[in-house]
Structure 1
Amino acid sequence: MAGKFGNWMMNVGIAVAVLVAAVLLYAFYVRISTPIPDPMRLDGETDLLGSTIQVQVLNGAGVDNLGLQMENHLIGLGFDVVETDNFRKGMEKTVILDRLGNLDASEQVALAIEANSERISTDILVDYYLDATIIIGRDYQEFLPWKVPDLEEVN
């Protein structure tokens, strides 16, 4: 009887080890296959100081603290958030405005919030001294840091 119990425990241990290995391999795959935003400007692209992409965050959704949450998310990824403020309320869609004609920087900002490049518009304001502006709209839950992962997307 003790022999059967020992074999059963060994089988359970092996099954648990295989399960843990599978989870770790999946996590590794997700990590290497997910693009990571690069908060650094390409060399010599602008006359702005520093090499970090500078972003302005404006809350147009009318929901308290969204700008601060977005600011913390972007800073955590290495971006330089130079201003966080409110925009006129009632913005339906979140947009990213390219302020210097540096589409690469705006695409990195879009990648950071998991927005597609169709959300990027060009509105050059060279006297703003920043690369991009994010205007958070009422659809904010579609983007990081508020987006809830869709389990069907992962599989």
Structure 2
Amino acid sequence: MWLYILVFFLTFFMMEFMAWFTHKYVMHGFLWSLHADHHRKDHDSWFERNDTFFIFYAVISIGFFLLWQYDVLKIGLAIGLGIFAYGLTYFLVHDIFIHQRFKIFRNATSRYGKAVRRAHKMHHKHLGKDQGECFGMLMFPLKYFKK
């Protein structure tokens, strides 16, 4: 049981690195065409082409659920749940808290909440795919806590 809990938390933690890596080298790299509308609102839709990245990680999570379901990988459930939990956290923090796609959590005033918003604002300061900063979501440089 403890192994599954450990794998769940390790997977969640590793997803922050995966999100950073994917954001910096894939979204701001060869798939910029899907991510660009997140930096420059060039459409009238509530949905963004950038939302397709959620599908990618959802498919990976489902894959691990299936590996567990069919007794191919015993810890597949823990990995799939870790990926899912990170995706849910990403949605809550990035899409709802930071970008206010739903108008809730508007008045959160915690030190961490202010820092995460500052770091993300610095990321969006750059409208192009180059010269970005703060590619992570939950972890970012300490300087954003000091303001």
Q: What is the TM-score normalised by the length of structure 2?
A: 0.22
Structure with greater helix share of residues = 2
Larger Rg: 1
Larger relative contact order (Cα-Cα within 8 Å, sequence gap ≥ 6): 2
Q: What is the TM-score normalised by the length of structure 1?
A: 0.21
Structure with greater strand share of residues = 1
